[in-house]
Amino acid sequence: MTVPTWPSELPRPLRSAYAETPQDNRRRRAAEHGVPRYAPRYSAVPALVQLTLVLDPEQQGILDRFYRADLATGTLPFWMPDPRRDGLPLLDTDGTLLLFEDDTPILGERVMLCLWGDEPPLKGPVRGSSVDYSFAVYDLP
């Protein structure tokens, strides 16, 4: 089975609405007194990433089809460009842009293996013919 890929027709998520929460990897150990002690549960922990897209009517159909058909209503994993790093210019150790021979910047590429979050996409508010779609994905390690 091939893992679906995030549709390239959809815009990048809004940076102003981006939020990331690492999942708690600690297991509390019982202590008779004093402060609690913790031990790690797993060696790799997913992060919950909150995203918002502003979509026109055509893009709304693309996202709805991807969620319902390709992801079987959000139950299958998928590849998605990392909204934090994908498409950003690469820098050297001095902070100078890395450039191709024609002076165009070299852009980084990173994809995340994701699972849809606990809720389906939340639609709204409406902005003329566009609608905000808010949702969460788990960035799998």
pLDDT (tens digit, 9 = 90+) per residue, 79-116? 999 888 888 888 989 988 898 999 899 998 889 999 99
Token output for 59? 């893009």
| Residue at 106: amino acid letter | I
Residue with tokens 């808010």: 134
pLDDT (tens digit, 9 = 90+) per residue, 15-48? 888 888 877 777 777 777 777 777 777 677 888 9
